Amino acid sequence: SLNPRLTVLESIVFGLKARGFAMSEGRTRAASMLRMVGLDPETFAQRYPHELSGGQRQRVNIARALTMGPRLVILDEAVSALDKSVEAQVLNLLRELKAKLELTYIFISHDLNVVQYVSDRVLVMYLGRPVEIGPVDAIYAAPKHPYTRALLASRPSHDPRRRVTVPPLSGDPPNPINPPSGCRFRTRCPFAEAVCAASEPSLLPRAPIGATRGHPVACHIHDAASGHSGAGRIAASGAQIGRSA
């Protein structure tokens, strides 16, 4: 995403110039932000993207975004192309900047371990629809939706004696242009019933953000009024899908 014909300094100052900042002020802010992301301006300001490593380029991208003074930063697969050692450095940098600058991140990723490390709250989506949302500890310790459970079960075990021999999901994802009726996950869900095809589940309970009791999930089996055969047992016992249901 960096222009190969612009130096690091020019890339960072570009947005400030577009907003009407003087070049001298832009250079000062860019140099300050380079230091904040761990790059010495004297060494890196006049370099071009091809003269940087992957981790250094990502730091420049972070500096370029933060120089604009945002309150909210959207990071889409921000570390997916980096080596693991460099990924860890960038993630630690993001966490430090979040605390130092009082930032809010929307962090989009398919790496479940990265999501767990960087997030306070997690939103799980399937085929363009939210299926579960809640505090990161609650999602990872007690997932409610069958898709969330399958995602977490797909992570490789660190113990060679506990190998995953059965895939947590079967079948292919449906065509997003022509999704299934009702619950979009029903074609791959082992708990699907007629009600799942008839109506789309809502995120329930509709608790305010920060509530400590339960977290919202879009699944008929967690809605006592849905008509799903397992809904009554789950609501009465508080059990998790796949354990006692």
Q: Per-residue pLDDT tens for 80-136?
A: 888 888 899 999 999 999 999 999 999 999 999 999 999 999 999 999 999 999 999
110, 116, 121, 127 alpha-carbon torsion, rounded to 10°? 20
pLDDT band at 159 (very low <50, low <70, confident <90, very high): confident
* Rounded-to-integer distance, Cα 140 and Cα 115, Å: 10
Break the chain into its structural domains and give their ranges. Answer: 1-119, 124-156+167-245
Name beta bridge partners: 204: 217
Dump pLDDT digits (tens) for 165-221: 777 888 888 999 999 999 999 999 999 999 999 999 999 887 665 554 579 999 999
- Whether 245 shows a pLDDT value over 50: the answer reads no
* Domain 1-119, classified CATH 3.40.50.300, yes or no: yes
Mean pLDDT of the chain: 88
Look at residue 208 in the predicted model and tell me its pLDDT.
60
Instruction: Judge whether residue 35 has pLDDT over 60.
Output: yes
What is the model's pLDDT at position 231? 86
Q: Is the dihedral of CA 64, 66, 71, 77 positive or negative?
A: positive
